[in-house]
């Protein structure tokens, strides 16, 4: 499958997650699932937007192929980040997957309204979480055709 790997480049994934433990577990699970993923972590919505807009210390940040976005975060929450991404012509094609502990029907519906590409519930059990990460990798980073990165 040459969806992204076809560039011979690393797959850039931006994880927006405020809980350091969850960020670490996610990084480890992706590392096991696919060695060509380079995962970047933003720990709140403000940092995520700075990364995506190459601001400040993120001047050299790559454009992510996929964004994994938590909903409940300090400073700027995931709903606001999602709305900003999907309203920005230079960012809105980047698939944005909600990855959150929230199971609320309101959060699910609202996320799809805000044009999330899909919504995933983070399982509490580590084994289930690792299975979910494998599915994200298998589906989004292997099977799905992502829009090509524009030269920057």
Residue 139 phi, psi (nearest 5): -85, -60
Task: Choose between 60 and 124: whose C-beta lies nearer to other proteins.
Answer: 124
Cα 21–Cα 123–Cα 131 angle in degrees, nearest 5: 95
Q: Which stretch binds other proteins (CB under 8 A): 36-44, 56-64, 68-76, 139-147?
A: 139-147
Q: How far is the C-alpha of 45 from the C-alpha of 79, rounded, in Å?
A: 9
The one among 19, 75, 118, 129 contacting other proteins by CB under 8 A = 118
Cα–Cα nearest to 119, from 142, 134, 102, 139: 102
103 belongs to the binding site for other proteins (CB under 8 A): yes
Q: How far is the C-alpha of 85 from the C-alpha of 142, rounded, in Å?
A: 23
Taking the complex as a whole, the smallest distance from the CB of residue 57 to other proteins amounts, in Å, to 29
117 belongs to the binding site for other proteins (CB under 8 A): yes
109 belongs to the binding site for other proteins (CB under 8 A): yes
- Cα dist. 109→27, 79, 105, 116, 121 in Å? 27, 12, 6, 10, 13
Q: How far is the C-alpha of 58 from the C-alpha of 47, rounded, in Å?
A: 9
30 belongs to the binding site for other proteins (CB under 8 A): no
**Residues in contact with other proteins, shown as a per-residue x/- string from 42 to 81 under the rule CB under 8 A:** ----------------------------------------
Length reported for the chain? 152
Taking the complex as a whole, the smallest distance from the CB of residue 60 to other proteins amounts, in Å, to 25
Size of the site for other proteins (CB under 8 A): 27
Interface ranges with other proteins (CB under 8 A): 92-93, 95, 103, 105, 108-109, 112-113, 115, 117-121, 132, 135-136, 138-140, 143-148
């Amino acid at each position: 499958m040459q969806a992204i790997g076809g560039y011979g480049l690393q797959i850039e994934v931006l994880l927006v997650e405020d809980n350091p433990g969850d960020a670490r577990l996610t990084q480890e699970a992706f590392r096991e699932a696919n060695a060509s993923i380079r995962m970047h972590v933003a720990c709140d919505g403000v940092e995520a937007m700075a990364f995506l807009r190459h601001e400040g210390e993120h001047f050299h940040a790559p454009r992510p192929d996929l964004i994994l976005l938590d909903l409940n975060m300090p400073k700027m929450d995931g709903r606001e980040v999602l709305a900003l991404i999907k309203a920005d012509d230079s960012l809105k094609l980047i698939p944005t997957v909600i990855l959150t502990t929230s199971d609320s029907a309101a959060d699910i519906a609202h996320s799809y309204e805000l044009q999330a590409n899909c919504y995933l519930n983070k399982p509490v059990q580590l084994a289930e979480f690792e299975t979910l990460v494998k599915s994200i990798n298998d589906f989004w980073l292997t099977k799905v055709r992502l829009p090509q990165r524009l030269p920057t």
